[in-house]
Chain A
Amino acid sequence: MLDTAKLTGGHAIPTPDDGSPPVLEVRGLWAGYDHTPALQEINFQVAQGDIVGVIGPNGSGKSTLLKAILGLMPPWRGEVLLLGHAAASQQRRIGYMPQMERVDWDFPVTVDDVALMGRYARRGLLRRTTREDREAASAALDRVGMLPLRHRLIGELSGGQRRRALLARALANNPVLLLLDEPMAGLDATAQHQLLDIIADLQASGTTIVLCTHDLSCVSSCCVKALCLNRRQVAFGPPDAVLNETVLNETFGTHLLLVHGDGNAYAYGHHTHPDADHPHQTAASDGTEPSPRRK
């Protein structure tokens, strides 16, 4: 066991002093597909206004963790609590931004339509959306700076704009907790900064955020806590305490070179996971990325 992991890895964290439940609490969580566990014994807590960066290689269970929090995957064991209640019953208070590849970008909907979808959950079956819903959707678009592009088709947007449209949808229902799956992947520096600014604004207004990423510099610069996953919880804690070479090597496999600069940690080299040949940190335009249809 690692030194740093003693504090954090695999052990329940004591509740905060003021006695109020944390926004998100994950206790002894196991989850997986078929009979293969994708997550084993995950324990962490997120306080209001925190940004938690979940890092780990492909297949380390990052997306599974988000799905378990959203209630899309029933936990095998353990529980997920949102403000002290089972998260599966609190779905509507969680905003979720999926990975870009999961979205059909050829679908004939506008930015407006997508933001409004964030309000559908609020209206039951057979109900139409109301003026209040449209206003909330507009407000969400305004927060992410997409109001001027509201009548564009989603397929006509750049990578950064696509991301912000999905973020608006996640925000439209005024969520307590925001889950972002790979928000930075494939964005160029400008678009990344734009998104980071929005995330910082959200944090300032008290939104709690859990984001998955491959980008260590993003975690060390903008996250309050880092959760290192490799099917099990390798470490959880403040980035400068947790992101050291030992933890990262255990998280990502071997051959990771860590460079410290500007108070941030940067990782070079690639891990040995079989999916590692997918380029994730390239800044190339993703405007032409394929839009695979889901089954």
Chain B
Amino acid sequence: MLDSLWEPLGYAFMQRALVAALLASVACAVVGTFVILRGMAFMGEAIGHSSLAGMAVAYFLGGNVFWGALAWAVPASLGITFISRRAKLRLDTAIGIIFAGGFALGIILMSQVNNYTADLFGLLFGNVLAASWGEAALTGGMALGVLAAVAAFYKELLFTAYDADMAAASGIPVRLVQYFLPVLVAVTTVVALKTVGIVLVLALLVTPPATATLLARRLPGIMAASVAVAVVSVVAGLYLSFYADLPTGPSIVMVATGFFLLALLFSPSKGVWRRLQRSPPTETAAAGSGADR
């Protein structure tokens, strides 16, 4: 039993995958908490998909797809924020345009490459088992940078996310923070691309924090629970992938999704199971939050 736990760690590719995936998922878990609270999930999805364009350009020019994605994602996140603020477009409209446009451009560029399907598959769904030490270090370093940024500006991120008007009235540079958070989301998305790929980035960004909101009450607790869910999902997902010979990214996502469903059913405060036990329905309604007058 213990042997089967240690055996995969003997392989260098598993070590690299574990480092890259763990750090990426922790960054996702922390930034993702703000993403779900501010309803920015669609933005994360769009940044991930549209950065296919940047990756394709880098791939085409023989450069590192990671830098290509970053060079695309950061301006895209700023662009989405800017368009929605200035052009009085709804945020989801601005996101939709950048999402589809970037993705289409990426597919067209990739279609000009010879082994189109195989390479595209790697970008879309991740291939963390193929990560080099250089890639693992780059991903890990960026993830640590994201975590440091959240720690440094936690107060400002929290206040602005909760009540932007009041934060502005208190002299917090709200506009700056409102551009900074999407940039953090963009960098985090890019960090996670190697692990889960463009299509599934959203899962790492949203599923662990969503699970955490069912398990903890206050923001710091939610972040901690989110990190715990992400770490366990990555480790379990990698082992599942190793032993069952399944694709890594989707395995990690499936484990995380499993945790979400368990939390949804058995959360001590908000679980479906607890609610069913609290019949009759009139009492269930009274136990709902905010109606205690």
Among A105, A113, A127, max chain B CB count under 10 A is at A113
Over the window 95-129 of chain A, the binary record of Cβ atoms lying under 8 Å from chain B Cβ atoms (1 yes, 0 no) is: 01010001111011110011001101101011111
The reply on A131 being an interface residue by CB < 8 A is no
State which size class the interface on A falls in: 35 or more
Q: Which of A143-166 contact B (CB under 8 A)?
A: 153, 155-160
Say how far B96's CB is from chain A's closest CB, in angstroms: 16
A159 touches B293 (CB 8 A): yes
Among A92, A126, A173, max chain B CB count under 10 A is at A126
The reply on B9 being an interface residue by CB < 8 A is no
**Please, which residues of chain B bring their CB within 8 A of the CB of A121?**
170-172
**Please, which residues of chain B bring their CB within 8 A of the CB of A260?**
none
- Given A92-B171, A103-B163, A120-B159: A108 in contact with B152 (beta carbons within 8 A): no
- Given A72-B165, A104-B162: A91 in contact with B170 (beta carbons within 8 A): yes
Q: How far is the CA of A94 from the CA of B218 in the complex (A)?
A: 28
Over the window 182-215 of chain B, the binary record of Cβ atoms lying under 8 Å from chain A Cβ atoms (1 yes, 0 no) is: 0000000000000000000000000000000100
**Please, which residues of chain B bring their CB within 8 A of the CB of A109?**
158, 162, 218-219
- Say which residue of A96, A120, A188 sits within 8 Å of B293 (CB atoms): A188
- Say which residue of A70, A128, A129, A155 sits within 8 Å of B289 (CB atoms): A155
- Given A91-B171, A108-B37, A287-B290: A295 in contact with B166 (beta carbons within 8 A): no
Among B37, B38, B163, max chain A CB count under 10 A is at B163
Over the window 154-178 of chain B, the binary record of Cβ atoms lying under 8 Å from chain A Cβ atoms (1 yes, 0 no) is: 0110110111111111111100000
- Say which residue of B173, B222, B292 sits within 8 Å of A108 (CB atoms): B222
The reply on A35 being an interface residue by CB < 8 A is no
**Please, which residues of chain B bring their CB within 8 A of the CB of A91?**
169-171
User: Which residue on chain B has the smallest CB distance to residue A91?
Assistant: B171
Among B159, B218, B293, max chain A CB count under 10 A is at B293
User: Which residue on chain B has the smallest CB distance to residue A129?
Assistant: B155
**Please, which residues of chain A bring their CB within 8 A of the CB of B164?**
294
The reply on A15 being an interface residue by CB < 8 A is no
User: Which residue on chain A has the smallest CB distance to residue B213?
Assistant: A108
B interface residues, how many (CB within 8 angstroms): 36
**Please, which residues of chain A bring their CB within 8 A of the CB of B152?**
125-126
Q: How far is the CA of A98 from the CA of B163 in the complex (A)?
A: 9
The reply on A36 being an interface residue by CB < 8 A is no
- Given A108-B219, A153-B218: A98 in contact with B166 (beta carbons within 8 A): yes
- Say which residue of B90, B153, B162, B216 sits within 8 Å of A117 (CB atoms): B162
Say how far A212's CB is from chain B's closest CB, in angstroms: 14
Q: How far is the CA of A188 from the CA of B91 in the complex (A)?
A: 37
The reply on B10 being an interface residue by CB < 8 A is no
Binding site for A on B (CB under 8 A): 37-39, 84, 90-91, 152-153, 155-156, 158-159, 161-173, 213, 216-219, 222, 289-293
Query: A117-B167, A155-B290 known; 18 other A-B pairs, CB under 8 Å?
Result: A70-B169, A71-B169, A91-B169, A92-B170, A96-B166, A98-B163, A104-B163, A107-B219, A108-B213, A108-B222, A117-B166, A120-B156, A120-B167, A126-B152, A128-B155, A158-B290, A287-B293, A288-B291
CB-based closest 9 A-B pairs: A121-B170, A158-B293, A287-B291, A70-B169, A155-B289, A121-B171, A285-B293, A287-B290, A107-B162
